[in-house]
Structure 1
Amino acid sequence: MSKRIRIIEGTWNCTSCDTKGILARHKKCPQCNNPRELTGKESEFDFGGTDAATGKALREGVTDETALELAGAGADWFCAYCGASNRGDQTLCKHCQAERTQDAKALQEEEAADDEHPLRAPPRASSAKKTLGKVALVLGGSLFFCCSGTLIYGLWSTATHDTSGQLVRTEWKRTVFQERFTPVTLEGWQDELHAQPPRMPVNGLGESAGVQNIRGCVSSRRGSRKVADGTERVCSTKTRKKACGTEEKCQTRNKGNGFQEEVCRDVTRYCDESYEDCRNETRYRQEPVYAQKCNYDTYQWKEVARRELSGQSGEPPRWPELSMSPTDRLRREEHYVLHVEYDDDGKKQATFEPKTEQEFLSWKPGQPVSVTVTNGGDIQKLLPR
C-alpha cells in the first residue's frame, strides 16, 4: 500500500490591518509588519477544502525548501513578553529577542497517524450530527408531552398530601347468601373423568362433588397440533461487500505551525454485491386433535336465597337471618364506608372503607380526623385527631 505525503500551507488574517489570506510562512503581516499573535484568531489557519469522498486537500501542496523547512520546525510558540509568533525550533523571540520561557504558549501539534490504521481519523462530533440530535431531542420531547398527558395526569393524581377533616357519616351493608349442594350434569373429557361417589355436606362442610354416570361420549375436537408436512426451498436476496479495486484515501494532521501534513494511500475499495441465500425449511401444518367428551353427574353449590341489611350512623351492624337445611351453607359479605369531609382549599368529600367490623366501630360521626389523600381525592390513610 503506497504512501504519498504532501505539505499543505495554511493562511491567516491580520486583525491589526484586516489583511486576508497571509501565507503561514509569514510570522508578521506583510502590510503592517505586526507579528502574528495567539489572540484575535490570528492563529486559526485556513487550509482550504477537502474532497468529501477521499479526504484529499483541494489546495496544492508546497514544494519549495523554505516552506518545507518551516513545516518541519515544530509547533509555533508565542513569546510571553511581546506575544509574537516564533518557529518551534527557535529559542529566542524573533521579534523582541526574549528567551523562550516555560510560560510561553504553543500551538498543539496533532500526533501522526498509526501506520496500522493510517486512515482512522480522531473522533470528532459532527455539527450535522449535533444538529440532528437536537432536532430529535426536541421532536422526542414534543411527542412525549403530546402523547403522555394521561400518564402525567395519572402520576399527579396519585401523589398524596396530608390535611385535616371530619368524619360526617358512616354506612354498613351485610349480605347473607344461602347455597345448596345441588345435582348438575356437566361435560368433561373422558380421560380426565374418574368415577367416584359424592359425599353430602354436614352443616355445610365436608362435601365431595363426585363423578357418576359417565355417558353419552362423542368424539369432539379438543385442539390442534403442529405436524411436519415436508420441506420447501426458501430463498432471499442479501447484500455483501466485495473487493472491487482500489481507491485513494487521505488523512491530514495539523503540525501546529500553519502547515498540514497530508498522507494518502491506495486502499481496497468495497462494493455491494447481491446474492441469493437459499435454504431448506420444514413446512408445518395444523392438524386437529380429537378426544371423547362425555356427560356426567356431579354436585355444585348454587345460590338459592339471599338476604341483605344496611344501616347508617348510629345503627350497629347486624346479620340478616335465613333458615336453612342441614345440607345448605351460608356465605357472608360485609361492606363498611366512612364519609369524610376535609379542608383542602375548600370543603371536599371522600370515602374510606374499613376492612373489619372492629375497625368500623372505632369511628364515630363528628370525629375530627387527619387525612392522607391523593390529588385525585382517594383517601390512603385515616387517623383520629
Structure 2
Amino acid sequence: MAKRTRIIEGTWNCTSCDAKDILARHKRCPTCNNPRELSGDESDFDFGDVDAQSGKSLREGVTDDKALELAGAGEDWFCAFCGAANRGDQPRCKHCGAERSVDAKAAPLQAFETPEKPPAAPPPETKPRFTKKWLWLGVLFSCCFSSGLYAMWARTPHDFPGEITGTSWKVAVTQERFTAVQKTGWADELRRSSARMPVNGAGEVAGVDNVRDCVERQRGTRKVADGTERVCRSKTRRVACGTEEKCRRRDKGNGFVEEVCEDITKYCNERYEDCQNETRYRNEPVYARQCAYDTYEWKPVDRREATGLDGQPAWPTLQPGATDRQHRSEEYTVHIRYEDDGVKETVLMPKTERDFLRWKKGQGVVVTVTNSGDLKQVVPR
C-alpha cells in the first residue's frame, strides 16, 4: 500500500517577551529578536493535535521550498557559548559567530507513539529510567525482610519459672460384643464364607452366610446415546472490512516532524452461527439383584466413664464375655501458672497416663514460650 509523506512545522514560545506560536523556521523571536535557547519552553515545539483514530496531524503540511529546506537541514544544535539555536548544517553560531564545538548541545527529540497506544511519558531528565523499578523492588524487599524479621522474632523462645496449679483426668472404657446381624448387599459382591468368633477380643471373621430373599432393585444410572441433534452457538470472529488510514510521526530535531501515512487493512467483529451435530444422551436406570444375608459385627454394649482431679486415674472395670472386647480412651490436663510480665496461665495436654503422672500439683517447672505466645516445652525444676 502506497505511503504518503509530508512535513509538519512546529511552533515555540519566547520566554523573553512572551510571544506565542512562533514558527519553527524562526531561530530568533520575530518580536524581540532574542534567539531560541535550550531552556524552559523554548526547547520544546508544539506540533498540534492529531486525529485520535488515525494519528494524522490536524495541521496543514509544509509546502514552500524554504521551510522544506530547513526541515532537511538536520537536527538543530545549541551554541556552547551563547546558548542560541542554530541550523544543523551551519558550522558557526549565527548569533555570536562561535564555531560549533564538541560540547555543543543537540536539540531534544520528541517521541511519538502509534495511535493504537497512548503516548508514553518521557522519563525525568535528572533520574535514570530504572528508578521506579528499583523503588518497587526496594519496597518489596523491605516488606519481605520485615516479614522475615517478624517471623524470627515471633519464633524466638524464652524460659520462665512456673508452677503446676492442678491436674485433671477423664477416662472411659467401652465394651463391644461380636453380634449376629442381618444385612443386605449386591449379589455379585457377596462371597459366602464362614464366621469365626474372636478369642480374647481378636482374630474374628464376620463371614457371609444364608444369602436369601434376592430381588431386582435399581443400583444406579448410566448415560446412553439417544440420537443426535443440531446445536448452534453464536460466536465472534475478526474479519477484514475495508481499509483505514494510520499515520506515524518522526521528530527531525529542528522544529519539523515527518509524518508518514498509509492505508492498512481494517478488521471488524463479525458474529456467526457455528452449527454441528452433537450426540444426545439420556440417563438409563441400572438394575441388579440385592440379597439379605447373615453376618457379624462389633456393637457397643456398655460404656463407663470416670473423672478426677490430681492423682492417678481410676479406670472403670467391666466384665467382658467370651465374644467381647474393650476400648480405652483417655484425656489429661495439666494447668500451669508462670511469670512473664505478669502472671499468665497455660495448659499442657499429656498423651498417655505415664506422661500425666510425671506432673504433681505444686511442682515447680520451667516453661518455654515464644514471643508469639506458643508453648514450646515444660520441664520440671
> What residue number does 1:330 align with?
326
Distance 1:82 1:102 in 2: 15
- Using the alignment, how far apart are the partners of 1:338 and 1:125 within structure 2? 68
Distance between the aligned counterparts of 2:170 and 2:283, measured in 1?
54
- Structure 1 length as normaliser, TM-score? 0.81
Q: Spell out, residue by residue over 1:225-269, the C-alpha distance to the aligned partner (whole angstroms, 9 max, x if none).
A: 111111110112223233333222211122222111110112222
AA matched with 1:244: C
SS at match of 1:195: coil
Measure, in 1, the Cα distance between the counterparts of 2:226 and 2:259. Answer: 64
Give the letter for the 2:186 counterpart: W
Structural mapping, 1:128-139, within 5 Å: none
Secondary structure in structure 1 of the residue aligned to 2:69: helix
- AA in 2 matched with 1:381: K
Contact kept? 1:342, 1:371, Cα under 8 Å: no
Output one character per residue of 1:5-26: Cα deviation in whole Å (capped at 9) or x when no partner.
1111111111222111111112
Counterpart residue type for residue 220 of structure 1: R
Which residue type is aligned with residue 83 of structure 1? Answer: G
How big is each residue's C-alpha offset from its partner over 1:33-89, in whole Å with a ceiling of 9 and x where there is no partner? 222222213212111111111111001111112211221222222222222222223
Residues 67-106 of structure 1: pairs in structure 2 closer than 5 A: 67-106=67-106
> In the alignment, does 2:266 pair up with 1:269?
yes
Counterpart of 1:361 in structure 2 is: 357
- Normalising by structure 2, we get a TM-score of 0.82
SS at match of 1:41: helix
- 1:255-334 equivalences under 5 Å are 255-313=252-310, 315-334=311-330
What residue identity is the alignment partner of 1:288? P
User: For 1:362 and 1:123, how far apart are their aligned partners in 2?
Assistant: 76
Mapped partners of 2:22, 2:191: distance in 1:
103
Separation in structure 2 between the aligned mates of residue 40 and residue 80 of structure 1, nearest angstrom: 17
Separation in 1, partners of 2:98, 2:173: 107
Tell me the distance in 1 between the aligned counterparts of 2:117 and 2:86: 27
TM alignment of 1:126-205, pairs within 5 A: 162=157, 164=160, 165-205=162-202
1:247–1:266: 8 Å Cα contact kept in structure 2?
yes
Alpha-carbon distance in 1 for matches of 2:117, 2:109: 13
Amino acid at match of 1:341: R
Deviation at 1:120, TM superposition (A): 8.3
Larger CA deviation: 81-90 vs 21-30 = 81-90
- The Cα offsets for residues 193-223 of structure 1, whole Å up to 9 and x where unpaired, read as 1010100000011101101111111222211
Would the aligned equivalents of 1:204 and 1:327 in 2 still touch at CA under 8 Å? yes
Question: Partner letter of residue 315 of structure 2?
Answer: W
Task: Tell me the equivalent position of 2:378.
Answer: 383
Which residue in 1 is equivalent to 2:233? 236
Q: Distance in 2 between matches of 1:194 and 1:56?
A: 87
Report which stretch shifted further, 77-86 or 322-331: 77-86
* Counterpart contact for 2:53–2:115, Cα < 8 Å: no
Q: CA RMSD in A?
A: 2.8
Confirm or deny that 1:341 pairs with 2:337. yes
- Structure 1 residue 380, shift from structure 2 partner: 4.2
Aligned to 1:153: none
- Consecutive unaligned residues of structure 1, counting only runs of 5 or more, are 114-118, 128-155
8 Å contact 2:43–2:108 — kept in the other structure?
A: no
> 2:19 aligned with 1:19, yes or no?
yes
Instruction: Figure out how many residues of one structure are paired with residues of the other and give that number.
Output: 347
Which deviates the most, 79-88 or 216-225? 79-88
Displacement over 6 Å in runs of 4+: 110-113, 119-123
How far apart, in 2, do the equivalents of 1:299 and 1:161 lie?
56
Are residues 199 and 348 of structure 1, via their aligned partners in 2, closer, same or farther at CA, if it must alter by over 3 Å? same
Question: Displacement, 1:360?
Answer: 2.4
**Do 1:374 and 1:380's aligned partners in 2 also have CA atoms closer than 8 Å?**
no
Q: 1:167 to 1:67 in 2, by over 3 A?
A: farther
User: What is aligned with 1:132?
Assistant: none
How far apart are the structure 1 equivalents of 2:22 and 2:163? 86
Greater mean alpha carbon deviation, residues 318-327 or residues 20-29: 318-327
Q: What percentage of residue pairs aligned between the two structures are identical? A: 61
Uncovered stretches (5+) of structure 2, i.e. residues with no partner? 123-150
